[in-house]
């Protein structure tokens, strides 16, 4: 297949072992995307390729283990916003936080590590979640893409209903055309798929 125009970038979200079956925060059939992502990168159809990587300190505020008496998947209020408490995952420097070794990452141009601030969670490739004062600090990816003339992003990876969705939504809000490569994503739970499809349709994010 021919390459995409130079104004199109691929964003691979959190393709890490901790989000695969057997990992500490396994997505539904998360490992099923690995062959397709590897093939897509080997085809070298994109001029610009970015990967994100959850990279948390052990004391991260999103971990249920850091809230006495709380369990994973309970919800609290953090910085005035709802916050899901997650199992401890993608701790910086651990094997579960690595980019998955089943993928040939040679074509990567940039890795955006997110969730490094112990006090703020981070789903999107573009902006962290709400922090103190209600702000969403940028990751720097927006400027990196704009400096390279990128106008459209294709997003895939994990999880479809959280970090991939937030990345596509932020891309659109920041002025990029956004497309989710649906078959190269998987959700935390399959029950969320109808809500995710509805959100994409309402906001004008295409499926590829």
Q: What is the pLDDT of residue 146?
A: 98
For 63-82, write each residue's pLDDT tens digit: 999 999 999 999 999 999 99
Residues 82-99, mean pLDDT to the nearest whole number: 97
For 100-129, write each residue's pLDDT tens digit: 999 999 999 999 999 999 999 999 999 999
Domain residues of the chain, as ranges?
Answer: 8-207
Q: Is 38 part of the annotated catalytic residue set?
A: no
* 133 has pLDDT over 90: no
Q: Is 179 part of the annotated catalytic residue set?
A: no
Q: Tell me if the domain spanning 8-207 has CATH number 3.10.450.50.
A: no
Tell me which of 27, 90, 114, 179 is the catalytic residue. 114
Tell me which of 18, 163, 170, 179 is the catalytic residue. 163
Q: What is the pLDDT of residue 132?
A: 86
Tell me which of 14, 18, 31, 170 is the catalytic residue. 14
Residues 122-149, mean pLDDT to the nearest whole number: 95
Phi, psi for residue 116 in degrees, rounded to 5: -80, -20
* 194 has pLDDT over 90: yes
Scored b (16 or more CB within 10 A) or e, 106-136 reads: ebbebebbbbbbeebbbbbbbbbbbbeeeeb
Q: Is the pLDDT higher at 132 or at 46?
A: 46
Q: Is 163 part of the annotated catalytic residue set?
A: yes
Give CA torsion, residues 48, 208, 198, 123, to 10 deg: -30
Residues 35-41, mean pLDDT to the nearest whole number: 98
Residues 41-64, mean pLDDT to the nearest whole number: 98
């Amino acid at each position: 297949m021919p390459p995409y125009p130079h104004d199109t970038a691929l964003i691979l979200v959190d393709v890490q072992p901790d989000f695969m079956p057997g990992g500490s925060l396994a997505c539904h059939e998360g490992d099923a995307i690995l062959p397709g992502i590897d093939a897509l990168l080997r085809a070298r159809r994109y001029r610009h390729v970015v990967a994100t990587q959850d990279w948390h300190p052990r004391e991260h505020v999103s971990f249920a283990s850091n809230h006495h008496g709380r369990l994973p998947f309970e919800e609290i209020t953090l910085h005035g916003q709802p916050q899901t408490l997650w199992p401890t995952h993608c701790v910086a420097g651990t094997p579960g936080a690595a980019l998955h070794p089943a993928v040939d990452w040679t074509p990567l141009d940039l890795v955006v590590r997110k969730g490094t601030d112990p006090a703020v969670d981070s789903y999107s490739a573009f902006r962290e979640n709400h922090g103190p004062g209600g702000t969403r600090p940028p990751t720097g990816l927006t400027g990196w893409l704009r400096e390279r003339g990128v106008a459209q992003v294709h997003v895939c990876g994990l999880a479809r209903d959280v970090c991939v969705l937030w990345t596509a939504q932020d891309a659109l809000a920041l002025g990029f055309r956004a497309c989710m490569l649906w078959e190269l994503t998987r959700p935390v739970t399959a029950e969320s798929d109808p809500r995710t499809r509805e959100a994409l349709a309402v906001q004008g994010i295409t499926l590829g």
